[in-house]
Amino acid sequence: MSVDLPNSIIGEYFDAITKTLESNTDRKETAILFRQLLLSKEYGFSILMSLAEIDSLHKEIRIIFRGFEPRNVGLFMKALTVEDLILSVKFYVISWTTLLDMLAALISKVFNLGFADSDVKFGLILRNKHVLNSDLPAIFKKYSKALDITALKRHRNEIVHRGKIMDEEVKSHYKAKNILDAERYSLLRSAHISEEEYKKESARQIEVLFDLASRKKATYEAHYKTTLEMIAEVLDSLGRKAVELHKPKAI
């Protein structure tokens, strides 16, 4: 069963700002802070753009999960290839690591660290002394093992630089499909299996593929749901930090 993913994932940032400002009894200060945090071009607008980009990527990831599902072919048939599954795995891993980089860029902007987006690296941001003194390192540490952040980054590098995925189950199925095709059609073989044998084994492999794709979809959706829990905590922290950093300026 598919995980019900939200349409938007950035509400926690605004909720944190709203709750923090609501506790402020000085209405003038509150008005100045609200304008500065959400409307100022130098600070607020840049953050809003980052939030919009994060939300846009989230919507793309929701679409990626559809690629794990067999598509309708006619009235009574469904189709899915192992290549479809490989692409879905690649798209998820790359998009997920991109989301992490975009989150790092947002942290840089909220803390006003002065880095250009092209220079922002997740590890670099977490080593910054201002970030280290916040609750963000504890949040990322809390989720690091469950999300297997280091392994996902290695997986992303393998995909981007070598075009390969690290999922052994999917790779094994892809290999089995190629072997079957070679047993039926390879010009390098002197003997081939019959068409009937080929169709029978193909049907069996398709059943295995459907089950494999369903399990992979569930695994990655669960991984992404945990990711969203982490992002919610990060955005809540950033919203409160934005008010904290700019409150002294509201005179």
Give just the sign of the alpha carbon dihedral 75, 78, 83, 84: positive
CA atoms within 13 A on the CB side of 125: 27
| Residue 4 in domain | no
Q: What is the domain range of residue 38?
A: 11-249
- The model's pLDDT over 204-238, given as tens digits with 9 standing for 90+, comes to 999 999 999 999 999 999 999 999 999 999 999 99
| Residue 110 in domain | yes
| Residue 48 in domain | yes
| Residue 2 in domain | no
Band (1; pLDDT cuts 50, 70, 90): very low
Q: 74: which residues sit within 8 A by CB, 6+ positions away?
A: none
Give just the sign of the alpha carbon dihedral 222, 100, 113, 14: negative
What radius of gyration, in Å, describes the C-alpha atoms of the chain? 24
Greatest mean pLDDT among 112-126, 178-192, 205-219: 205-219
Q: Which pLDDT value is given to residue 19?
A: 87
Cα–Cα distance for residue pair 118/139, rounded to 1 Å: 24
The stretch 122-133 carries a mean pLDDT of 92
Cα–Cα distance for residue pair 244/251, rounded to 1 Å: 14
- The model's pLDDT over 6-63, given as tens digits with 9 standing for 90+, comes to 999 999 999 998 888 787 777 677 777 777 677 777 778 889 999 999 999 999 999 9
> What is the SS3 assignment for 45-81?
HHHHHHHHHHHHHHHHHHHHHHHHCCEEECCCEEECC
Quote the DSSP letter at residue 200: H
Task: For Cα atoms 118, 97, 94, give the angle at the middle one, nearest 5 degrees.
Answer: 105
**pLDDT exceeds 70 at position 251:** no
Lowest mean pLDDT among 71-80, 122-131, 153-162: 71-80
The stretch 150-161 carries a mean pLDDT of 96
Band (73; pLDDT cuts 50, 70, 90): confident
Q: 194: which residues sit within 8 A by CB, 6+ positions away?
A: none
Q: Based on the number of CB atoms within 10 Å of its own CB, is 61 exposed (0-12), middle (13-18) or buried (19 or more)?
A: buried
**pLDDT exceeds 60 at position 250:** no
- The model's pLDDT over 87-104, given as tens digits with 9 standing for 90+, comes to 999 999 999 999 999 999
| Residue 6 in domain | no
| Residue 5 in domain | no
Query: For 130-134, which contacts have Cβ atoms below 8 Å and span 24 or more sequence positions?
Result: 131/107, 134/237, 134/241
DSSP for 92-155, written as a single string? HHHHHHHHHHHHHHHHHHHTT----GGG--HHHHHHSHHHHTSSHHHHHHHHHHHHTHHHHHHH
Could you give the number of structural domains in the chain?
Answer: 1
- Going from the C-alpha of 30 to that of each of 16, 23, 80, 240, the distances in angstroms are 14, 9, 55, 14
Identify the residue whose tokens are 């039926």. Answer: 184
Distance between start and end Cα atoms, the chain: 53
**pLDDT exceeds 90 at position 119:** no
| Residue 3 in domain | no
| Residue 1 in domain | no
Q: Which pLDDT value is given to residue 27?
A: 67
**149 CB neighbour count, 10 Å cutoff:** 18
pTM of the predicted model as reported, rounded to 2 decimal places: 0.90
- Going from the C-alpha of 158 to that of each of 54, 61, 155, 161, the distances in angstroms are 24, 20, 5, 6
Band (248; pLDDT cuts 50, 70, 90): low
Mean pLDDT of the chain: 90
